[in-house]
Amino acid sequence: MSRDAILGRVREALSVKTDAHVREVAKKSSHSLPVLANGPDGRTQAVKEFLPFVGESLEDHIAAFKVLSDKLQTEFIVVPTIDSARQTLDELRQKHQWERVGIHDHELVQSCVDQLPVEFLNTSSNYDAHALEKCDVGISGCDALIAQTASALVTNHSAGGRALSVLPPHHVVVADASQMVTTMADGFAIIREKHHEKWPSFISFITGPSRTADIERVLVLGAHGPKKLTIIMISE
């Protein structure tokens, strides 16, 4: 069936107006409500007004991010400088015995890993997915950190493609404190700004290590994606 035929059916169906009574129900509530602005801005505003409040300052945001990260079992490490980030990565390398590390062409990532004594796989040029799967960790950048949800917002540009951040068993994000924003809406705004009308084909909010509770509601990390997620944020 064609596009026109289906759109025609949709239009015909919509030629009858929605029942007023039913439309009303969605507005009504047994609770007392603040008046809600209609339209798109009203809804973006809604994210700020109704979702959990995480403070205004960077300190507040970091604190909120930390609380949720602990709950999610995300390892959130705040370090002062790039140098200390390098050191942290080296400690992680020793602790987890990294030998093969997936990276990509990303300024911050590159400057953090340049001294890491490991074998690198760079996903910014043609790479083999099987080889990436054998990496111990994937280290990527991000576009933003979302305080309200403790998410790292990535695209295939900021995270070295679609697979680097999901195929290896450990994902490390390096970020700068200036990337911390309040809400997911703020995150979208950053991507909108950066990519104007040429959207990346992949955007993702990463919120904790991969998980499942499909067996008797018992939480298990690393269902299919990374079992570990580390976010290193450089504060200076």
Partner 1 sequence: MSQSTNPTSQFQTDANRVTADVDRRSFLRSSLRGYQTTRNATQDRFLNYESARIAAGDAKWEAIENLDVYLAQFADKLEARGATVHWCSDSEEAREAILDIIKQHDAKSVIKSKCMTTEEIHLNDLLEKEGFEVVESDLGEFIVQLRDEAPYHFVFPAMHLKKEEINTLFQEKLKSINTDDPEELTMVAREVLRQKYLSADIGISGANFGVAETGMISITENEGNARLTTSLPKVHIALMGIEKIIPRLEDLALMLPMLATAGTGQHLTCYNSQLGGPRQDDEIDGPVEMHVVLLDNHRTRLLADPEQRDALRCIRCGACLNVCPIFKNVGGHTYGTTYQGPIGSVITPHLRGLKDWKHLSHSSSLCGACSETCPVKIDLHHHLLRNRRDAAGKGQGGLAEKTLMLGFTIVMRRPWLYRLTGRLGKLGHVLTKPIHGTRIDPFYAWKKTRDLDDPAKQSFKQYWKSRK
The footprint of partner 1 on residues 164-203 (CB under 8 A) is: 166-167, 183-185, 187-189, 192, 198-203
Q: How far is the CB of 143 from partner 1 (least distance, A)?
A: 12
206 in Cβ contact with 152 (< 8 Å): yes
Nearest Cα to 102, choosing from 77, 76, 127, 65?
127
Give the torsion sign (CA, 191, 196, 197, 200).
negative
What is the spatial distance between Cα 143 and Cα 126, in angstroms, rounded to a whole number? 23
Tell me which of 156, 158, 179, 230 binds partner 1, using CB under 8 A.
156
Q: Is 226 in the site for partner 1 (CB under 8 A)?
A: yes
Q: Is 10 in the site for partner 1 (CB under 8 A)?
A: yes
In this complex, which beta carbon is closest to partner 1, that of residue 76 or of residue 188? 188
Residues 6+ apart with CB under 8 A from 171: 137, 138, 139, 140, 165, 206, 209, 225, 226, 228, 229, 230
Residues 6+ apart with CB under 8 A from 90: 115, 116
Q: Is 131 in the site for partner 1 (CB under 8 A)?
A: no
In this complex, which beta carbon is closest to partner 1, that of residue 82 or of residue 184? 184
How would you class 142 by CB atoms within 10 Å of its CB: exposed for 0-12, middle for 13-18, buried for 19 or more?
A: buried
Binding to partner 1 (CB under 8 A) within 60-89 occurs at 68
Q: Is 210 in the site for partner 1 (CB under 8 A)?
A: yes
Tell me which of 56, 95, 196, 215 binds partner 1, using CB under 8 A.
215
- What φ, ψ does residue 48 adopt, rounded to 5°? -75, -40
Q: Is 56 in the site for partner 1 (CB under 8 A)?
A: no
> Which DSSP letter does residue 179 get?
G
Q: How far is the CB of 97 from partner 1 (least distance, A)?
A: 19
19-28: which pairs have CB atoms within 8 A and are 24 or more residues apart?
Answer: none
In this complex, which beta carbon is closest to partner 1, that of residue 79 or of residue 209? 209
Q: How far is the CB of 171 from partner 1 (least distance, A)?
A: 10
Binding to partner 1 (CB under 8 A) within 11-30 occurs at 11-14, 16-19, 21-23, 25-27, 29
Q: Is 31 in the site for partner 1 (CB under 8 A)?
A: yes
Q: Is 100 in the site for partner 1 (CB under 8 A)?
A: no
